Amino acid sequence: MEQAQHRFAADPAARVTAPALRRGGPGSTAQGRRSRDRVLQASVDLIAEAGIDQVRVAKIARRAGMSPGQVMYYFTSKENILLEALAWLEHEDTRRRRAALRRIDGGWRQLARFVDLFLPASPVDPSWLLWIEAWARAPHNPAVSSFLDELMLPWRQDLAQIVERGAQQGAFQPPDAIGDFTIRFCALLDGLAIFHLRYVPSLPRHRVAELAMDAARAELTTATGAASPSPATLPS
């Protein structure tokens, strides 16, 4: 097995902690972690059902089977809950993504799967709703901006490993700077995803994936003309 695949297996990525004005209540015990995760799961469910604007601490508490006071024992504010929910979802996404990528051979197939996992699963994908909310706060909050950089790093690391491995196999013509490529390609995926969320169904998800892979082929097709997958082979 390739070294890159071993890295996917061996590095599940640490869970990032969201910025807060003060320290929340203890979450280091098993019971504390379960209580925090109940709050985060309740928040994610409410966001998917009603949108972020309709989520209130009282509603989160009712959904989690807790009192508002118990919720605020573990979290410092509604904003802290939302950012922690994003970090929680991203940690789980990284674990699942790396497990999925380990099961796939071939640079182009891995890249197509990466694109599929990156894009919103639905118009009410809670991860994407939380990302958009956090992006709006970042320009005026350096701590949130740094937090989002930390959350994005595993995506870029996984993309770099896919490109490195594909180049070793001869499937890709490696870009001059893989780090720059990961910034460009993730930014492209962000933009396409936002267009998709705004213009569904005029820009359906499968078309967004095709556009992303078209851009990848333009940058990564080998000089020897090694075949890359047609859009029809991409995940729907």
Give residue 198's pLDDT.
93
Residue 213 confidence (pLDDT) above 60? yes
Give residue 11's pLDDT.
57
pTM of this prediction?
Answer: 0.87
Q: How confident is the model at residue 30 (pLDDT cuts 50, 70, 90)?
A: confident
Residue 216 confidence (pLDDT) above 60? yes
Mean pLDDT of 189-201: 94
Label residue 106 left, alpha or beta by phi (over 0 means left) and psi (-120 to 50 means alpha): left
Burial 66-95 (b: 16+ CB within 10 A, else e): beeeebbbbbbebbbbbbbbbbbbbbebbe
Give residue 31's pLDDT.
87
Q: Using DSSP, state whether 91 is helix, strand or coil.
A: helix
Using alpha carbons, select from 132, 127, 155 the residue that is nearest to residue 144.
132
Task: Give the tens place of pLDDT for each residue, 160-173.
Answer: 999 999 999 999 99
Give residue 232's pLDDT.
37
Give residue 226's pLDDT.
47
Maximum Cα–Cα distance for the chain, whole Å?
A: 64
Q: Which helix (H) or strand (E) holds 75?
A: none
